[in-house]
Structure 1
Amino acid sequence: MWRDLLPVGRDEDTRGYRRHAWTGADADCRAWFRDQAESRGLTYELDRNGNQWAWLGDPLAGDAVVTGSHLDSVPDGGAFDGPLGVVSSFAALDELRHRGAEFAKPFAITNFGDEEGARFGLACVGSRLTGGHLTREAAHRLTDADGVTLPQAMERAGYDPGAIGPDPERLARIGAFIELHVEQGRALDLSGDAVGIASSIWPHGRWRFDFAGEANHAGTTRLADRRDPMLPYAETVLAARREARLAGAVATFGKISVEPNGVNAIPSLVRGWLDSRAAGQDALDRTVTAIERAAREYADAHGIDVTLTRESFTPVVEFDHALRDELARILGLGADRPGLAVPVLGTGAGHDAGILASAVPTAMLFVRNPTGVSHSPAETAAEDDCLAGVRALADVLEGLACK
């Protein structure tokens, strides 16, 4: 499975992945998922929001145990973020069948669409729509860098954008959702554990800063006569690093748009996107408020207008404690690991499991990432650790869904 999926959407120059929503690479990933489902005799289903499902048992029976993740990527992302969870889900089913396990509940594997938000700027679009966190009207207003709207992209890919929206009936039939994911950090590497359990997802959001100045000639305009928005933007980037460090948070300006974007032109507009996250809401609020204050002070000093728009926000997500404790109990029962204390750790990365947590009992398993690098072609995990993740996921699914 891993070898088949590995070349899909991979850029030959960067060696990173560009599996963006509703593109050719996305279609190839979706075809791969459907082939995996049908080759195992599972019932394939595409829901109203473009999320893929592979069912074993009656989807309408209720109390289903579901696992899965996503197959899309950030620009030039790594091979493991998302796909490891989907590949491991199919592998865990294979392992359970090898064990002769009999399912007592409906079971499904899912691929949620557009989790990374690389194309339209909003993360977890498929799960947000399903859970009612994103309205159809707001989704239809999403636009990519080329001016293509989400409905246009869906139509070009052969899907009906008029059908998208909340799907409470589907969520009501799910008793538990388990997402396996490569760890996006080094906590497991530092503790020496191959697999961990998630405790919570930090609150996080994305803010757009627009610095508006005056376009002019780079060679003839005196420095004293310039209204250059690049200067307060650059100072704000440095302020974000400083304020995040003081608050124990993280803050990153990772995307920028410049107009008119000419080498010999002073910009008229610099637009930068801030991603900020913290272990607690107070720390996040302090960080973003301080960055905004710095941006306005720097903009005033250079005669620049600045506006701030919050484009997305997700509050802290505490995964279901009872389900989390049940995972820890199951993973500590094996004959080769009696009483094993599986590490429980928080994460600053968002996931579909976090979006669904308000409607469905959810939990997450993490697989060790030896470098901690993620959202990069250097992202990796050892084969032994990946197989340990598959066995852990199989153990959990057997404990939750089988006789």
Structure 2
Amino acid sequence: MWRELAPIGRNAGSGGYRRYAWTAADADCREWFKAQALSRGLTYETDRNGNQWAWLGDPLAGDAVVTGSHLDSVPDGGAFDGPLGVVSSFAALDELRRRGVEFSRPLAISNFGDEEGARFGLACVGSRLAAGQLTVDKAHQLRDGDGISLPQAMEKAGYDPGTIGADPERLARIGAFVELHVEQGRALDLSGDAVGIASAIWPHGRWRYDFHGEANHAGTTRLVDRRDPMLTYAGTVLAARREAELAGAVATFGKISVEPNGVNAIPSLVRGWLDSRAADQATLDTVIAGIEQAAKERGERDGVDVRVTRESFTPVVEFEHALRDELAKILGKDGADVPVLGTGAGHDAGILSSSVPTAMLFVRNPTGVSHSPAETAGEDDCVAGVGALADVLEGLACR
């Protein structure tokens, strides 16, 4: 499975993946998922929001155990973020069939669309729509860098955008959702464990900063006469690092656009996107407030107008304790001490936690690198992840 999926959407120059929502690479990933489902005799379907499902048992019976993740990527992302969870889900089902277990609950494997938000700027679009956390009106307003709207992209890919929206009936049929994911950090590497259980997802969000200055000639305009938004942006980037460091949080300006974007022109507008995360809400609020204050103070000095727009936000997600404890009991049945750890990364499991009981398993990432071609996980650890997921699914769905 891994060899079949690996070439899809891979950029020869960077070695990273460009599997953006509703593109040709995304379509190839979806075809791969469908083929895996049908080859195992599973009932395949796509829901109203374009999320894919592969069912063992009656999809309408209720109290289903669902596993899976996503197949899309960030720009030049790694091979494991998302796909490891989907591949491991199919492999875990194969392992359960090898064991000859009998299922007492329906089992499903899912691929949620547009988890990374690389194309339209909003993460977890597929699961947000299903959970009612993204309205149809706001979804219709989403546009990519070329001005193509989400409905236009879906229609071009062969899906009906007229059906998108909250899907409470489907979510009501799910008794538990367990997502396996490569760890995006080094906690497991430092503890020496191959697999861990997630405790919570840090609160996190994305903010757009618009720095409005005045376009002018780079060679003839005196420094004292300039209203250069790039200076204000640069000062804000440094302020973000300072505020995050002081608070024990993280803050990143990872995307920028410039107008008119000429080498010999002072910009009229610099637009930067901030991603910030912290272990608790109070800390995150402090960091965001400090960055915005620093940006506006610097803007006053530079003659630059600063406007801040919150584009997305996800509060802290505490995974359901009963399900989390059940996973720990299943995986610790032989006396093993399974580590429980928090994460600063968002996931579909976090979005779905508002509607269904959810839990997560992490597989060790020896470098801690993620959202990069250097992202990796050892084969033995991946196999251990499949075994752990199979044990969990057996414990939940084969009672």
Please, which of 360, 369, 386 is the counterpart of residue 382 of structure 2? 386
Q: What is the match of residue 92 of structure 2?
A: 92
Provide the residue aligned with 1:201 in structure 2: 201
Q: Which residue of 2 aligns with 1:169?
A: 169
Measure the CA separation in 2 of the matches of 1:326 and 1:155.
42
Amino acid at match of 2:88: S
C-alpha displacement of 1:332: 1.1
Equivalences for 1:46-61 in 2 at 5 Å? 46-61=46-61
Cα distance in 2 for residues equivalent to 1:156 and 1:223: 48
CA distance in structure 1 between the aligned counterparts of 2:198 and 2:57, rounded to whole angstroms: 28
User: Within 2, Cα distance between the matches of 1:216 and 1:99?
Assistant: 71
Residue equivalent to 1:235:
235
Map residues 97-108 of structure 1 onto 2, 5 A cutoff. Answer: 97-108=97-108
Residue 58 (structure 1) shift: 0.4
Aligned position for 1:123: 123
Q: Determine whether 1:135 maps to 2:131.
A: no
User: For 1:214 and 1:54, how far apart are their aligned partners in 2?
Assistant: 54
Report the equivalent of 1:226.
226
Residue 197 of structure 1: CA displacement?
0.0
Match of 1:185 in 2: 185
What residue in structure 2 maps to residue 157 of structure 1? 157
1:69 and 2:65 aligned: no
2:216 matched to which residue of 1?
216
- Find out whether 1:268 has 2:268 as its counterpart: yes
User: SS of the residue aligned with 2:104?
Assistant: coil
The aligned counterpart of 1:320 is: 320
Question: For residues 181 and 345 of structure 1, what CA distance do their matches in structure 2 show?
Answer: 13
- Alpha-carbon shift at residue 170 of structure 1 (Å): 0.3
User: Where does the alignment leave 5 or more consecutive residues of structure 1 unmatched?
Assistant: none
SS of the equivalent of 1:353 reads helix
User: Which amino acid in the other structure matches residue 42 of structure 1?
Assistant: L
Taking the aligned partners of 2:129 and 2:11, their CA distance within structure 1 comes to 30
Q: Deviations over 1:149-203 (max 9, x none)?
A: 0011001101111100000000000000000000000000000000000000000
Q: 1:127 & 1:366 partners in 2: Cα distance?
A: 20
Counterparts of 1:316 and 1:216, CA distance in 2: 44
Deviation at 1:339, TM superposition (A): 1.1
Structure-1-length-normalised TM-score: 0.99
- Matched AA of 1:377: P
The 1-side partners of 2:250 and 2:45 are apart by 39
The one-letter amino acid of 2:180's match is L
> What is the distance in 1 between the residues matched to 2:337 and 2:133?
35
SS class of match (1:22) = coil
| Whole-angstrom CA distance in 1 between matches of 2:53 and 2:201 | 25
Distance in 1 (CA, whole Å) between partners of 2:265 and 2:373 is 34
Structure-2 residue corresponding to 1:351: 347
Aligned residue number for residue 374 of structure 1: 370
Offset from partner CA, 1:228-277 (integer Å, 9 cap, x none): 00001000000000000111110000000000000111000000000000
Whether 1:342 and 2:325 are equivalent positions in the alignment is no
Q: Per-residue deviation at 1:224? A: 1.0
CA distance in 2, matches of 1:247, 1:286: 8
Structure 2 counterpart of 1:19: 19
Q: Please tell me the residue identity of whatever aligns with 1:155.
A: E
Residue 52 of structure 2 aligns to which amino acid in structure 1? Q
Partner of 1:2: 2
Which amino acid counterpart does residue 167 of structure 2 have in structure 1? D
In the alignment, what sits opposite 2:393? 397
* Alpha-carbon separation, structure 2, partners of 1:246 and 1:270: 26
Q: TM-score, normalised by structure 2?
A: 1.00
Q: Extract unaligned runs of 5+ from structure 2.
A: none
| 1:341 CA displacement | 1.0
Tell me what 1:330 maps to: 330
Residue 42 (1) aligns with residue 42 (2): yes
Which amino acid in the other structure matches residue 41 of structure 1? G
1:324 is displaced (CA, Å) by 0.3
Deviating beyond 4 angstroms after TM superposition, the runs of 4 or more aligned structure 1 residues are none
Offset of residue 135 of structure 1: 0.3
**Distance (whole Å) between structure 1 residues aligned to residue 264 and residue 145 of structure 2:** 23
- Aligned counterparts of 2:369 and 2:182: Cα–Cα separation in 1: 10
Measured in 1, the distance between the counterparts of 2:264 and 2:22 equals 36
Give the partner amino acid of 2:313: F
Aligned AA for 2:291?
I
SS in 1 for 2:147: coil
| Matched residue type, 1:76 | D
Give 1:304 deviation, angstroms: 0.5
SS of residue paired to 2:299: helix
